[in-house]
Structure 1
Amino acid sequence: MKPVLGFIEYRSIAKGLEATDVMLKGGKVELIQATVMCPGKFVALISGDLSAVKEAVEKGVNLDPALAISSFVLPNIHPEVIPALSGTTSAEVKGSLGIIETVDATSGVVAGDIAAKAAKVHLIEIRLARGMGGKAFVYLCGELSAVKVAVKTACDRLADEGVIMASSIIASPHPKLTF
């Protein structure tokens, strides 16, 4: 069974932390990340089986629906999404580098999942909105043709939602390029 990812975003740090506690106590889910984001929001990501994640996210939102900004349950996520979110992947760029920048955290997670499923690429990192004014970005690498397909597919699939800020492909990044 492929993992399921649950996401909740609150406009209140206090209520977001409390909602995360409710999600963790409510079912058999694993906390992937819980953090304060810019500008003064709180986000939590959980994983587990589909029914447990759905129930936990619903409970988290229902704690204070007026302060819950967004939530989603993403079933069958690509296996590299959770390591890319938690910063446990190799940061070494092999081949070309693709970057997808989104206007919010939710879209960054979805863009990373779409890109990883679209072509044979390696997700380096999915960074969510810390110190970036609420935005998110995805770094991925692989052969140039695969990177192009992955970035284009994610951008095309999310174009109608207006959540893609920008994207770039660097065919042969300089070895000293850091990010």
Structure 2
Amino acid sequence: MEIDTLGFLELNSIAKGIEAVDYMLKVAECQLISAKASCPGKYYIIISGRVDAVTQSIEEGTRIGGMHIVGKLIIPRIDPQVVRAINMTHVPDNARAIGAIEYYSAAGSIVAADFAVKAASVDLISLQLATGIAGKSFVVLTGDVDAVKAAVEAGVEGAKDEAMIINHIVLPNPRKELIDSLVF
């Protein structure tokens, strides 16, 4: 299956989220990346696939979710790093700098991560979405100092209409202990 688009649906009902994901997967050929209950009592669905299939699935999930939908997102031409980094952690051997961007919603970090990796030569370390962090999310990336600065700026700017930012940082020459602490 060709994966070029990411779809994200957020509901305020766990039961309705479970129902929506079933209908979403039946209506079009998409890959389920994640579907789970999260803090604070929300349900997140992340799918990928061709743009037409993802669009059809998100529309169906929105129809099924009805008044329980609190957010949705479709990102065509998603960078493959973003899909791999969702709720996973990859720590490179030599982190010359790290950047972090933190949002009040999961959608903010997904959008910011895509803008960041498209703007500069950086690697995503982690993209943490809502679970165990009170519904917030954050993205952590690494690369050369200038690339990390450019990527963080692009991520913040690119997601400004999607979600409320909490904070962002760039740290040159991070200590190894800090890098090791990013592995969850």
Common topology (TM > 0.5): yes
Task: Tell me the amino acid that sits aligned with residue 109 of structure 1.
Answer: I
Q: Does 1:34 align with 2:41?
A: no
- Render the CA deviation track for 1:26-60: whole Å, top value 9, x for unaligned: 11100011111110000010011011100001000
For the aligned residues, what is the CA RMSD? 1.5
Cα displacement (A) at 1:161: 5.5
Cα displacement (A) at 1:91: 1.9
Cα displacement (A) at 1:153: 1.4
Kept in 2, the 8 Å contact 1:2–1:75? The answer is no
* Partner-residue secondary structure (3-state), 1:176: helix
Q: Give me the whole-angstrom Cα distance separating, in 1, the residues matched to 2:36 and 2:163.
A: 25
Any unmatched runs of 5+ in structure 2?
Answer: none
Kept in 1, the 8 Å contact 2:103–2:163? The answer is no
Structure 2 match to 1:85: 86
Structure 2 match to 1:166: 167
Cα displacement (A) at 1:69: 0.7
Kept in 2, the 8 Å contact 1:32–1:86? The answer is no
Correspondences of 1:123-138 after superposition (within 5 Å) = 123-138=124-139
- Render the CA deviation track for 1:155-176: whole Å, top value 9, x for unaligned: 1233455611100111011111
Structure 1 match to 2:10: 9
Q: Give me the whole-angstrom Cα distance separating, in 1, the residues matched to 2:105 and 2:139.
A: 12
Kept in 2, the 8 Å contact 1:96–1:172? The answer is yes
Q: Give me the whole-angstrom Cα distance separating, in 2, the residues matched to 1:84 and 1:162.
A: 19
Correspondences of 1:1-179 after superposition (within 5 Å) = 3-87=4-88, 90-92=90-92, 94-159=95-160, 163-177=164-178, 178-179=181-182
Cα displacement (A) at 1:25: 1.1
- Render the CA deviation track for 1:52-83: whole Å, top value 9, x for unaligned: 10000100010031001111111001120000
TM-score by length of 2: 0.92
Distance 1:25 1:162, change over 3 A: closer
Cα displacement (A) at 1:124: 1.1
* Partner-residue secondary structure (3-state), 1:112: helix
Any unmatched runs of 5+ in structure 1?
Answer: none
Cα displacement (A) at 1:85: 0.6
Task: Tell me the amino acid that sits aligned with residue 166 of structure 1.
Answer: N
Cα displacement (A) at 1:2: 6.0
Q: Give me the whole-angstrom Cα distance separating, in 1, the residues matched to 2:168 and 2:131.
A: 19
The more displaced of 123-132 and 91-100 is 91-100
Q: Give me the whole-angstrom Cα distance separating, in 1, the residues matched to 2:17 and 2:41.
A: 11
For these two proteins, the number of residue pairs brought into alignment is 178
TM-score by length of 1: 0.94
* Partner-residue secondary structure (3-state), 1:133: coil
Task: Tell me the amino acid that sits aligned with residue 129 of structure 1.
Answer: A
Distance 1:160 1:68, change over 3 A: closer
Cα displacement (A) at 1:5: 0.2
* Partner-residue secondary structure (3-state), 2:177: coil
The more displaced of 92-101 and 147-156 is 92-101
Q: Give me the whole-angstrom Cα distance separating, in 2, the residues matched to 1:35 and 1:162.
A: 20
